[in-house]
Amino acid sequence: MARSPQPSGDAAVVRITGIAAGGAGVGRLPDGRAVFVQRTAPGDRVVARVVEGKKRWARAQLLRVLTPSPDRRVAPCPHYGRCGGCTLEHLAYPAQLRAKASLVVEALRRIGGVEAALPEVTASPDEFRYRNRVSFTLVRLEHGRVVAGFHELEHPGRVLDIGADCLLPEPAVSAVWGRLRERWGLDALRLPAGARLRLTLRGTGAGPVSLLVDGGFGPGRPDELLADVEGLESIWHRPGDDPERPAVLLAGAESLPESWQEEDVALSGAVFLQVNRAAAALLEEHVVTLVGDVAGQKVVDAYCGVGLHARRLARRGARVTGIELDPVAVAEARRGAATGDAAEFVEARVEDALPAALPAGLVILNPPRAGLDAAVPGQLLAAPPGRLVYVSCDPATLARDLGRLAAGFELRSIRCFDLFPQTAHVETVADLVRVRPGGD
């Protein structure tokens, strides 16, 4: 006889067997349903209370650990008990890497129908203090009070106040965050007005930091704030909730010089670079090694950002077309390309510009978390390049896209890079080759 479903509010003993995409441990309730429990580790035996129940799965809150996993550790961060900024800090770092490899393989199989061996995961050189860019949510409360930090794990509608003791930002970014909190004034009057703001600090290798304020209205008092916060060199504002709306410089330098491996980049506004400079260098080196000799080839660098791959491959003799929607990033890509390089950059959505850029010998894809637009796989299948290198920050959308590409491309290898220690996020580089008719 089938067991009755575990009611919400009831506690159960659960053995944790894996880690899910959001960082929660996964086990089985006595009634057989999968259950997701945050702050648990594979090998834990725990008591958890069901807080949300569905027909096939449930979410539960950890009450106590009966038998700890050998991979469990005491989280170093003092905020970890409530903060949702990290989800795997209670796992020893080697166990985090193993969990991420499993997440990728499971997503490929379950979502894309793609079978792959467990990939190697290249560790981040820095487990903590690795983020050059970090975003905090600021909420204005009554009587001039301000809370700014990350959303709470169990109550995502709440914001947990986080100061400079957060272990994720690079030291220079952390120091500016602490000073910014001290100097933004009662009710954060020196920042743009609005009940809720998103504050993104980004540091350069040399130390200077920029601030981008998303949401709200009006400039606040940016000149005063800039003068009072040592290390802060520019303040940008993007009113409203549209991430594609251009940011406006409120005060300070229009761009900050950044050295990204051997490339010089002028950072401004919301131009994208990877958050973990040391781990990103390993990923980018892998991509360049993977593509090998590109001299004389036509290459498309789709979602190219500031054109780092395009610049390097053009210097190696490739004829490169970079495609990017962000006009500021395109302008920087064009500025940074060496005179005489065979690199051109198109400001457009990839799905709009890709057909004209094909055919090509090699296409590099580095889309945002949402993955490829639904039109892009069909465009690649219609004019297939000899090779695809897909750099993904989300195993689920990677798996979906590889499934869509399977009719014309074969997965040759995958390798993961841990750009986001203490979280369940992972970067994956997939190498695909064209399937030729008749198998020759």
For the annotated catalytic residues, the residue numbers are: 393
Amino acid at 59: R
Q: Which of 302, 308, 324 is nearest to 389 (CA)?
A: 302
Q: Which of 418, 414, 422, 423 is nearest to 107 (CA)?
A: 414
b/e per residue 391-427 (b: at least 16 CB within 10 A): bbbbbbbbbbbbebbbebbebeebbbbbbbbbbbbbb
CB 391 within 8 A of CB 414: no
In whole angstroms, what is the distance from residue 75 CA to residue 89 CA? 5
- Measured in whole angstroms, the distance separating CA 317 from the mean position of its chain's CA atoms is 31
* Tokens 């996964």 -> residue: 26
Amino acid at 247: A
| Cα-based angle 10, 156, 93 (whole degrees, multiple of 5) | 85
Burial (Cβ within 10 Å: 0-12, 13-18, ≥19) of residue 143:
exposed
The full DSSP string for 325-355 is S-HHHHHHHHHHSPTT-SEEEEES-HHHHHH
For β-strands 319-324 and 298-302, DSSP reports them as: parallel
- Measured in whole angstroms, the distance separating CA 74 from the mean position of its chain's CA atoms is 25
- Measured in whole angstroms, the distance separating CA 193 from the mean position of its chain's CA atoms is 28
